[in-house]
């Protein structure tokens, strides 16, 4: 389910989801139509992965007028791959989920 090298750096809440094997929504802010695709009690976790989003640096004023240098740092996120009721898979940012109760 997870890469052992990246598992050492895994945040605690992501490790809890990976260990449990099931997740639930962390808040009620998820679209009801999307929520309906998944089990309401426990959503099966099909995988966990670490994703690095490369930053950006622009050194040309023609690209962003008024700014000689614009920089966006790299970002690392954790994605949780969930299995829907129909067997299809969807990836979500780990901040939207938490480990399902036993």
Is residue 67 assigned to a domain? no
Phi-psi region of 25 (alpha: psi -120 to 50; beta: other; left: phi over 0): beta
**Is the C-alpha dihedral spanning 26, 93, 35, 89 positive or negative?**
negative
Mean pLDDT of the chain: 85
Is residue 30 assigned to a domain? yes
pLDDT in tens, 23-52: 999 999 999 999 999 999 999 999 999 998
Is residue 70 assigned to a domain? no
Is residue 87 assigned to a domain? yes
Range of the domain at 36: 4-50+79-99
The total number of structural domains in the chain stands at 1
Q: What is the mean pLDDT of residues 83-95?
A: 96
Is residue 45 assigned to a domain? yes
* Cα 100 from chain centroid (whole Å): 16
Residue 5 scores a pLDDT above 80: no
Tally Cβ neighbours within 10 Å of residue 96.
Answer: 14
Is residue 65 assigned to a domain? no
pLDDT in tens, 59-78: 665 655 666 666 777 888 99
* Cα 67 from chain centroid (whole Å): 32
Share of the chain above pLDDT 90, in %: 63
**pLDDT given for residue 4 in this prediction:** 46
**pLDDT given for residue 72 in this prediction:** 74
């Amino acid at each position: 389910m997870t890469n052992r090298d990246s598992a050492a750096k895994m945040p605690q809440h992501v490790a809890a989801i990976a260990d449990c094997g099931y997740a639930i929504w962390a808040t009620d802010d998820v679209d009801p139509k999307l929520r309906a695709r998944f089990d309401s009690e426990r959503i099966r976790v099909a995988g966990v992965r670490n994703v690095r989003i490369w930053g950006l640096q622009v050194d040309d004023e023609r690209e962003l007028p008024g700014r000689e240098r614009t920089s966006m740092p790299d970002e690392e996120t954790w994605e949780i791959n969930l299995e829907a009721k129909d067997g299809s898979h969807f990836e979500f940012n780990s901040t939207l989920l938490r480990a399902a109760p036993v």
